[in-house]
Structure 1
Amino acid sequence: MECPGSTSDTKVEKATTMLEKTQKHPCYSFDAHQKFARMHLPVAPYCNISCNYCNRKFDCVNESRPGVTSEILTPQAAKKKFDRVREQVAQLSVVGIAGPGDALADWENTRESIRLIRAENPQVVFCLSTNGLLLPEYAQQIINLGVTHVTVTVNCLDSAIGAKIYKHINFKGQHYTGEAGAKILIENQLAGIALLTSQGIIVKINIVMLKGINDQHIPEVVKKMKEFGVFITNIMPLIPAPGSVFENFPQTRMEDVNDMRNLCELDVMQMRHCKQCRADAIGLLGEDRSQEFRDKESQGEYCDSSTQGLGFIRRQLA
């Protein structure tokens, strides 16, 4: 028999807290997506991999997809913006960092943004999205920061398939292409996911469905994620992005996506309400209010002085 205050009691209390937070997270809970709002902080412009379906854009108001933002914020500007949004969006419950690059490739900005906001707002749910390349390195810091929800994009488990999806990766100062790069990425994704789930972090897996490339492989990915104890998987259609390698690739039919979700739901719960949001999205899912909160007068605060403005960042990411 275990005494009050035992390890078992602590685990139950932690699980209860995580469940309560998940019920207020619109991306992890269908019931929450029309009740609670999220705010994405575009503080991480750099990325350490190049996906053939991706084209990160800045100063873009006409597109709604991952990798798009109208501004890049310093951590200090992100905190100021959060304060404004919190006062005007009563349903705000989640603060997330989803790029527009990779949250871990810009770890200093990501960490400082979360730290500044958490210091005065411990009740807010914090989450981040990553490609997972640096997840084993930063998993414990993520946990220590109080981030409770992490989304990892895992498109395949096979490096031969990965070579068709990823143009290159940059890891520990080295440039890798083809299967060699995909193999490193996949191994780090799996190791990082295992670290997070073992510590009770709620993990969501994003999968971009690419007809003729990884579509037949997706059930295998989902089964592996089940082994790791992920909470939910989000199978998404490809949105052909102008300027990307796959810009002329056909957009995945929602009929095919839903058929795949139905099949994979036998193993892991499926997200069906994803809006593939911008990196600066604000508000309820499907009701983006990001442009409403853009403060052009504060644009000097939007970029760290070392980046010399958005033009520099665009050139670095070209």
Structure 2
Amino acid sequence: MSAPSTACAAHALRQASMQPAFPDLEGHHPCFSTTAEGHAKAARLHLPVSPACNIACAFCRRDFNRVEQRPGVAARLLKPGEAVAVVERALRLIPNLTVVGIAGPGDPLASDHAIDTFARIHARWPELTLCVSTNGLMLPARVDDLHAAGVTTLTVTVNAVDPAIQAAITPKLAWQRKRLDGLAATERLIANQLDGIARAAGLGLTIKINTVLIPTLNDHHIGAVAERVAAAGARMINVIPLIPEHQLAHLREPTFIERHKARAAAARHLKVFTHCQRCRADAAGVPGLTDYTRDLYGDDLVAEPTFSHG
């Protein structure tokens, strides 16, 4: 690509990112606000109620601690009833709290815990925006339950739409009480993700995609991902730089230029979210600005083995 065309692409990406993707959510949901001003206005609360996962991602290392600032980490695991008490405390502590989400530490749709929690919260605080982040494997089967529980915003982690690429990222999964490996696993995952996105869009949910940018694996493939998920009904994409962990610890984090090229490729099809802070599964506050996590959770650590939701 020539220098002028690169500059034009950069300018177009900056201009597009300055326009709200969802006017009704701008300044109300930090993870669906595309302007810096909107992102900084409202707080969100993540509830770590999901104990298990149904896929195994090569980059994922789950843990329970208070130190690491990344997805898949929480101080403790909550039961649905405990989560309701945390929301009650959070509303007293965080005056600009508008969003309650569930993003781990396992996948929210791999068990009933998240939907149970959402239903309890929606019944008590219907004004809160409810948000879920899932790998999408169980989305076609559970999207009606999410909708009934009051969930209106949805994030699906889609790292590839080519089964061969996805096989290097998610080599195995559990489906209908059986283990699937390789292409059988990734073909099922991708089909369910796209079907689930389409069903969610049909129900009126607002849909964002998370895509982990992995050098040498899917860095050339981001535009294809954005095109397919946009056709299914997604309206925003968040390209997240790889944190080298677990089986991908030998890879490096993508460079600024690689991140820019991936986002520019995605921007041809979807609005691009650029304010991601790679939040913990128990995050509380405005991403990157305020953190109330330590004030909300007790000292007891409950550790259970989990895999990645993304």
TM-score w.r.t. length of structure 2: 0.88
- Out of 241, 245, 248, the residue aligned to residue 247 of structure 2 is 245
1:41-100 Cα shifts (integer Å, max 9, x gaps): 000020000000111111x12211110101100011111011001001001000000011
How do 1:123-134 residues align onto structure 2 when only pairs under 5 Å count? 123-134=127-138
Q: Return the offset for 1:280.
A: 0.2
Q: Which residue of 2 aligns with 1:280?
A: 282
CA distance in 1, matches of 2:25, 2:274: 19
Q: Which residue of 2 aligns with 1:206?
A: 210
Q: Which structure 1 segments of 5+ residues have no match?
A: 1-17, 303-308
Q: Which structure 2 segments of 5+ residues have no match?
A: 1-21
Q: Which residue of 2 aligns with 1:294?
A: 297
Q: Which residue of 1 aligns with 2:3?
A: none
Q: Return the offset for 1:273.
A: 0.3
Matched AA of 1:203: I
| 1:162 aligned counterpart, secondary structure | helix
| 1:245 aligned counterpart, secondary structure | helix
CA distance in 1, matches of 2:121, 2:148: 15
Contact 2:43-2:96 at 8 Å conserved across structures = yes
Q: Return the offset for 1:248.
A: 2.0
- Out of 262, 265, 290, the residue aligned to residue 263 of structure 1 is 265
1:182-212 Cα shifts (integer Å, max 9, x gaps): 1110010011001011221100000001111
Q: CA RMSD in A?
A: 1.6
- Out of 139, 154, 165, the residue aligned to residue 169 of structure 2 is 165
| 1:249 aligned counterpart, secondary structure | coil
- Out of 59, 62, 68, the residue aligned to residue 53 of structure 1 is 59
2:26 aligned with 1:27: no
Q: Return the offset for 1:231.
A: 1.7
Q: Return the offset for 1:22.
A: 5.5
Q: Return the offset for 1:215.
A: 1.1
- Out of 87, 91, 100, the residue aligned to residue 82 of structure 1 is 87
Matched AA of 1:123: E
CA distance in 1, matches of 2:137, 2:233: 19
Q: Would the alpha carbon gap of residues 20 and 317 (structure 1) be closer, same or farther in structure 2, given more than 3 Å must change?
A: closer
CA distance in 1, matches of 2:211, 2:201: 18
Q: Which residue of 2 aligns with 1:105?
A: 110
CA distance in 1, matches of 2:232, 2:190: 14
CA distance in 1, matches of 2:108, 2:38: 24
Q: Which residue of 2 aligns with 1:6?
A: none
2:91 aligned with 1:91: no
| 2:98 aligned counterpart, secondary structure | strand
- Out of 184, 202, 206, the residue aligned to residue 180 of structure 1 is 184
Contact 1:21-1:125 at 8 Å conserved across structures = no
How do 1:230-241 residues align onto structure 2 when only pairs under 5 Å count? 230-241=234-245
CA distance in 2, matches of 1:56, 1:64: 12
| Stretch moving more, 143-152 or 247-256 | 247-256
Q: Would the alpha carbon gap of residues 71 and 250 (structure 1) be closer, same or farther in structure 2, given more than 3 Å must change?
A: same
Moved segments of 4+, more than 2 Å:
18-23
Identity across the alignment (%): 36
Q: Which residue of 2 aligns with 1:223?
A: 227
CA distance in 1, matches of 2:236, 2:196: 16
Contact 1:240-1:246 at 8 Å conserved across structures = yes
Q: Which residue of 2 aligns with 1:4?
A: none
CA distance in 2, matches of 1:281, 1:146: 21
2:49 aligned with 1:43: yes
Matched AA of 1:157: V
Matched AA of 2:83: A
